[in-house]
Amino acid sequence: ILLFLYLILSVFLKNNNNLNLNIFQENFIKFDSKSLISSFQFGFVFFIAVAATNLFHQGNWQRVYAAKNEKILVKSLLISFFIIFLIVLFMGITGSISKLNGLKFNEDLAFFSIILNKNDILISLIVLIFSLCLTISTVDTLLNSISSLTIVHSKDFFNFKYLKDKKLSNVVLILLSIICLIIALYQFSVLYLFLLADLLCCACVYVIFKGLYQKKIYPYRSLVLIMIGLCLGLLFFPSTDFSKSILVGGIFNKSIFNEIFTNSLLFWSFLFATFSPMIFDLIYRKTK
């Protein structure tokens, strides 16, 4: 992995040999307190988003339950953390250097826009193969999870005579694949779709994990709490150009809001979606 990262870094520097690598220090001195706060808020947003999303990733839970014992689980998680940290740090640094140097690239596919070059066909092919492997692995895990959930819980919702267990799961997977294909044809922003999924996960985090430790589950109350978190999050969720939201710039004029809100819509959206279900649940239990 280290050799592969070194190889990619070499190609990156070769393709962009006019880069100023001291630009971090030069720009950090110029940052004012508002810029630093916005930067840390943006970083915190993605920390919440990735953490919330991965808590619902069936592949992670499969690996947890497949571990031989707790010691092996802890060791494997630490090794995975170290590897992922290096990869994410590397990709973040290359993107930051390129952005600060004024290089033009597609933000959704920044890493590929920077690395891929017509003169380096071999590197482009290697990156493409690794990307396909990652995508196939993710899709395979997703298909397994959907199929498992459909087979286990289909009897609670459907009672079709000719659609039993595996047949029903196959039909569901085909229908979902068609929907995904139609959405893909519209070429929506990958990052924006990912953030929408993160918002839903943030709204569900408190309710789902409270249910893991609570003996009695209240389905109606849980649904209401999730909808509260989702609705409040959507009020602040930014538009595709990240300039306004339903509440800020939509229902109310953007000028009446402080810059703390207008410059960090995504941060407040995830914050409300994550913590509002918890607050409303506490209020309900106290007033009951």
Q: What is the mean pLDDT of each run of 10 residues along the chain (288 residues)?
A: 56 53 52 63 76 76 79 86 79 66 60 64 74 76 76 64 66 83 79 84 87 79 91 90 86 84 85 92 86
Q: pLDDT of 165-209, one tens digit each? A: 677 777 778 888 888 888 878 877 777 888 888 898 889 888 888
What is the model's pTM? 0.70
Q: 220-225, long-range: CB within 8 Å, 24+ apart, which pairs?
A: 221/281, 221/284, 225/277, 225/280, 225/281
pLDDT confidence of residue 113: 64
d(CA 234, CA 159): 35
d(CA 190, CA 47): 18
Q: How many CB atoms lie within 10 A of CB 110?
A: 19
d(CA 8, CA 91): 10
pLDDT confidence of residue 235: 92
pLDDT confidence of residue 29: 47
* DSSP3 helix / strand / coil % (the chain, rounded to 5): 75, 0, 20
Q: pLDDT of 19-33, one tens digit each? A: 555 555 555 545 555
